[in-house]
Structure 1
């Protein structure tokens, strides 16, 4: 988790100062008022929480009931990980509650779901004693040995279940369901690519030895699309100008998108690829309209670098409504049909904008409001008398006022971390509406990694 957070922090701004816009879920939930903390972004967003009734309802129910919603039938691993309507995948969820107890704790896996690429779990720790409660809520409860959660594969010769050579796990506490005696986390486990994971091993390190839970996996159906297309990508964190790359294959499930990518060995990172989605209604959706934009994966050296990069969908996908993957102007149908040429609106693709001076001492960079809107194809109307900029993108309107930390998001007041201000003759802001608009932004380094070259915005 910390490695993913560190990478995200580097992507978003100039270390060691905080990034120029929020990426942390806990921070955003506080109204984008604090600096980036040591907790991962992923990410029930503050502004989206203010606008979506379900999240508010969850908080109200917790206050009234004083119990974790994770044990209820209306809140499970899908609600913890995905936005919107999760009903298309309800039948795929393993809702069997598995738990172990000792004198201090009960450790529970409330529900789980997987797709062959990733396993998602909802885990809970209940304190059964005063000593257990004190440790559970201690600042240092979460450490390197607190949880042991990893996939299990079947050893061919013996049939034993063993830990594969490589896997990674990320987790974030769901503070909205914390009670006086329990804490709940959402967990994602990357599954091995060359071996079939049959279960997840989960253990709380503070419990008596030998106490653990094994969760069997029944992966959701996924669709594999052979692509084999080569083209030039956009700059990535350590890929300054965007090298060529080959998108070899895509695997689509209701929960994730996995891309097999190869790229030149002289580049540490693959370039950002211009991937968009064709829906069955004929419309095209940008990459971050459907995914969270955060990749899990890595490469290795050789004549080329090659790896699988996995992205979570923002909402559970009904694969009957998704018809194709589009890259470099060609559509690859999910039904195995022949590729075909397609025109893509440039506003659906990544674009670079200028790196502007920061708005405060702890805000090293900002970005031009006008440049952002031009790249997105969004409306930007400046009212000189009121000193306001009204930005409209898709179904959301944001009103920024020069010199004021208070913005209006679809008519509701939201506090920004920094007040929009003029830099180099342009109205600039700290990027705090990016999460609302489902944008992912990173600031690539120059070739010698001493400076940033600008902001890459992925719609």
Structure 2
């Protein structure tokens, strides 16, 4: 089974030769993007918390960096449309009729701004944006990032200008959107430059609630062009969603005991949303065990062929999927202990394999790298027992073989090369280093499995990708001299 990056790689139809790219510049831009997200969320000092959205965007950025710095084989990624970039699992053809790819460009004497393709599902906007310099000075300013940097001078000051010139980032105000009737949030990721005169980004905008089709277009513009030169994204065409209005009490988070009354649930091919009236005390949502908060939404799709899709399989990121769902093939929606048939039949108690529900798993003995960094290793044997997966251990070769959801992993103690359905994959983790300028760099390192009796302690990143599960470390605050204690693994199948 190939990773998502390998699947994209194989589907690109790349030419035999690729343009030269500057690895240091790419790394700098990735680091700048990470810094922007970290500044926006202002996390506390201490072990990195596993916010689901940050976790997934971190993976996207690092995967892009690695692909770009190993031969530039993704240099043609700008040719990919919005479906290829945002939805990396399964068949996306059911939403192809709703992709807009003939949006009118806007230009002034220096730049042309184009929305190459976009998709709107009633709450989320996914768009690929490209800007092209139209004269030599504009090209120089765009490719050196001076265009974005100078646009930040007045509101942010000289320090921000210097940082953006060095990093190549668009900055906090570089790309903006405006829809007067609804608020939301925006994520921006660099794409490889389409040419030596242009730059591209993939952008997702998420409104605070499902709003459906809108007559008013969404305006998106660049700071150095100004709002008068905004591309206007049409918002009047969406796939008809599935709606259920149960008005039933549910458990929103079984670990924290959070209850609510589910008023409405909306499913689109690429996302879901719901209205929940909170009941009782929700103060434990900010519990000392930081990551139990992400175990909300006991949400599953029962399909007409009898299969069940979990949020981890769908690749959920803040209610946005990586896999497109064919709504005509959905039989029912499960939320907590209730099952809601999509044909309007009355809700019933859900019959669901308990192994599909999130669970806590004790951490193994700590595994550290040479510099004393605690690694994200977990017990493969214990994980398989809890998931109901196959597990075999060969004492002579110190090799573990595990199979789950039709995917086989073979790992050997002391080797970071893991076989996934027979294909060698290098298991890695990322550490932070400080360069001579005092700037942080994110560097890959081999994640070597460690034997523990007839068990193997393995890094969690590869398991997540191969089996479509989430493995999140839960930390307690202020219970040790360091201020944090690693309590458990939270596994979301």
- Provide the TM-score with structure 2 as the length reference: 0.70
In structure 2, the CA distance between the partners of 1:364 and 1:321, relative to structure 1 (3 Å rule), is: same
Question: CA offset at residue 7 of structure 1?
Answer: 9.7
Q: Which of 385, 404, 416 in structure 2 is aligned with 1:405?
A: 416
Question: Which residue number corresponds to residue 84 of structure 2?
Answer: 79
Please give the root-mean-square deviation of Cα atoms over the aligned residues, in Å: 3.6
- The equivalent of 1:158 in structure 2 is none
Distance 1:267 1:4, change over 3 A: farther
In the alignment, does 2:184 pair up with 1:167? Answer: yes
Q: Is the 8 A contact 2:258 2:282 kept in 1?
A: no
Structure 1 counterpart of 2:202, from 166, 172, 186? 186
- CA distance in 2 between counterparts of 1:425 and 1:30 reads 36
Q: Indicate how the Cα distance of structure 1 residues 18 and 111 shifts in structure 2: closer, same or farther if over 3 A, else same.
A: closer
Deviation at 1:319, TM superposition (A): 0.5
1:457 is matched with which residue?
Answer: 491
Give yes or no for contact 1:14–1:364 (8 Å, CA) kept in 2: no
Q: CA deviation at 1:88?
A: 0.7
Counterpart in the other structure of 2:271? 256
| Alpha-carbon spacing, 1:259–1:67, altered in 2? closer, same or farther (3 Å) | closer
Equivalent of residue 406 in structure 2, options 377, 392, 395: 395
CA gap 1:276/1:127 in 2 versus in 1, 3 angstroms:
same
Distance 1:208 1:339, change over 3 A: closer
Do residues 226 (structure 1) and 249 (structure 2) align? no
Equivalences for residues 80-159 of structure 1 within 5 A: 80-83=85-88, 84-128=90-134, 129-135=139-145, 139-153=167-181
Equivalent position to 1:25, from 60, 65, 82: 60
Whole-angstrom CA distance in 2 between matches of 1:17 and 1:288: 15
How big is the shift at 1:419?
0.1
Bigger share in helix: 2
Deviates further, 224-233 or 391-400: 224-233
Native 8 Å contact 2:474 2:489 kept in 1: yes
Task: For residues 282-320 of structure 1, give each alpha carbon's deviation from its aligned partner in whole angstroms, at most 9, with x where no partner exists.
Answer: 332223222x2322xxxxxxxxxxxxxxx1222221110
Q: Check the 8 A contact 1:359/1:421 in 2, yes or no.
A: no
- Distance of aligned partners of 1:9 and 1:386 in 2 relative to their CA distance in 1, 3 Å threshold: farther
Classify 1:318/1:424 alpha carbon distance in 2 versus 1 (closer, same or farther; 3 Å): same
Q: Is the 8 A contact 2:218 2:234 kept in 1?
A: yes
> C-alpha distance in 2, partners of 1:150/1:441?
37
2:317 is the counterpart of 1:294: yes
> 2-side partners of 1:273 and 1:208: how far apart?
40
Tell me which residue corresponds to 2:290.
Answer: none
Moved more, 281-290 or 410-419: 281-290
Aligned with 1:91: secondary structure? helix
Report the secondary structure of 2:84's partner residue: helix
Query: How do 1:58-73 and structure 2 match up within 5 A?
Result: 68-69=78-79
Residues 377 and 195 (structure 1 numbering): CA distance in 2 closer, same or farther, change over 3 Å? closer
Greater mean deviation of Cα atoms: 215-224 or 137-146 = 137-146
1:244 and 2:272 are equivalent in the alignment? no
Structure-1 residue corresponding to 2:381 = 370
Q: Which residue is equivalent to 2:228?
A: 210
Q: Per the alignment, in what secondary structure is the counterpart of residue 210 of structure 1?
A: helix
CA distance in 2, matches of 1:380, 1:327: 30
C-alpha separation in 2, matches of 1:225 and 1:18: 28
Question: What is the aligned length?
Answer: 394
C-alpha deviation, 1:92, in angstroms: 0.9
Bigger CA drift: 346-355 or 262-271?
Answer: 262-271
Give the equivalent residue in structure 2 for 1:443: 473
CA distance in 1, matches of 2:77, 2:472: 39
Partner Cα distance (1:367, 1:7) in 2 = 31
Question: Mapping of 1:331-350 within 5 angstroms?
Answer: 331-350=339-358
Residue 156 of structure 1 is matched in structure 2 by none
Who is 1:431 aligned against? 460
The alpha carbon displacement at 1:397 in A equals 1.3
- Structure 2 unmatched runs, 5+: 1-32, 148-164, 287-292, 429-446
Structure 1: tracts of 5 or more residues without a match: 35-45, 47-55, 70-74, 154-163, 296-310
